[in-house]
Structure 1
């Protein structure tokens, strides 16, 4: 079954909504260089991560601008995983893993998945997203899901599909791209930075019902 991550959670109420809906992971955005209503302070990120119930994976989402700062974020907020956006080199990833042992997810540009090859052996998952010129996701734009599936066939790392997903298209996206997981933020919001409980529940339910297996066709008599 395709896993589900709900990203951009900013309040405990939204955290409870995500958990009640049955999502597998929650994303909390902190210390990014782009202007977004979904960013929270490091203190709030730590509080939300501590409040997450068991069996919901906590993911701290940040821009990899300073390796030492990234290590500080992980050590302070103590997430289960960290999701890195922007330019990041192999040495920085090695240093982060050696210092923290945290699960590492790396955002990859859906338009340039060939670049992901350089990191495939270093990370635990690749978040394939539509990105802007700063390398940030959260654009709310979809990309070619079938092309993503084809381009990712040679990758060893699990693929987390992001970019423009919402309840109405998540099943189609899963069938087309066959990802390990799907990741949504703005597609389940009532307003910027606040989740819509009905949309969150619908997204998780529809992702759960989607299948990557084509139905069998009975032979003609």
Structure 2
């Protein structure tokens, strides 16, 4: 069964909505170099992570200026996982992984998904997202799911599919890519940084009930 991450949470009401809908993971965006209505302060990120119930994974989504900053953010926010965006060399990721207790996830551009292989043994999971000119994700645009599946089929790391997912297309995405998890932010929003409860519930339900085309 495909797991679901609801990302870009900015308040406790939306966090509760995601939990009640059955989300497996909750994403909080902090310390990024792109303009997004979903970014919160370090203090707010810590409070939201602390508000999550047991057995739901909290994910700090960030674009830190360096490894020391990434370590500092993990220590202050205390997420279950940290998701990095940006160009981070494999050696730096391996170093970071040895310094933090959190699970390490890395976002890779769908246009260069084959490059994910070079990170396969130094991270705990790889998120494939539609690239933006500023280096971030959250574009609200889909990418070529068939190509993504082919590029990631041999990876050992769990693959998280992102990029333009909505309640209307997530089942098709799951059937095509067969990812470990799907990730959504703007696709379930009523406005920038504010979730639509009906859309959140519909997204989780449709992602969970979709079956890859390879299955009988």
Q: TM-score, normalised by structure 2?
A: 0.97
Shift of 1:91: 2.9
- 2:175 is matched with which residue? 175
Runs of 4+ residues deviating >6 angstroms: none
The whole-number CA distance in structure 1 between the counterparts of 2:141 and 2:65 is 24
**What does residue range 92-111 of structure 1 map to in structure 2 within 5 Å?**
92-111=92-111
2: distance between equivalents of 1:212 and 1:91?
Answer: 34
Displacement of 1:213 in angstroms is 4.6
Name the counterpart of 2:83: 83
Counting only pairs closer than 5 Å after superposition, residues 65-144 of structure 1 correspond to structure 2 as 65-144=65-144
Q: Which residue of 1 aligns with 2:157?
A: 157
Give the CA deviation at 1:174.
0.2
Q: CA deviation at 1:93?
A: 1.4
Which moves more between the two structures, 58-67 or 175-184? 58-67
CA distance in 1, matches of 2:76, 2:91: 22
Say if 1:44 and 1:213 are closer, same or farther in 2 by CA, change over 3 A. Answer: same
How far apart are the structure 1 equivalents of 2:76 and 2:25? 19
Deviates more, 1:45-54 or 1:207-216: 207-216
Please give the residue correspondences for 1:205-216 in structure 2 after superposition, counting only pairs within 5 Å.
Answer: 205-213=205-213, 216=216
Q: Alpha-carbon deviation of 1:215? A: 6.9
Deviation by residue 1:117-136 (Cα, 9 ceiling, x = unmatched): 21111001100000112321
TM-score (normalizing by structure 1) = 0.95
SS of the residue 2:45 aligns to: helix
Q: What corresponds to 2:36 in structure 1?
A: 36
Q: Is the 8 A contact 1:64 1:87 kept in 2?
A: no
Give the total of aligned pairs.
Answer: 216
RMSD: 1.1
Partner of 2:146: 146
**C-alpha distance in 2 between matches for 1:159 and 1:134:** 23
Distance 2:90 2:51 in 1: 32
| Runs (5+) with no aligned partner, structure 2 | none
**Larger deviation: 25-34 or 112-121?**
112-121
SS of 2:199's equivalent in the other structure is helix
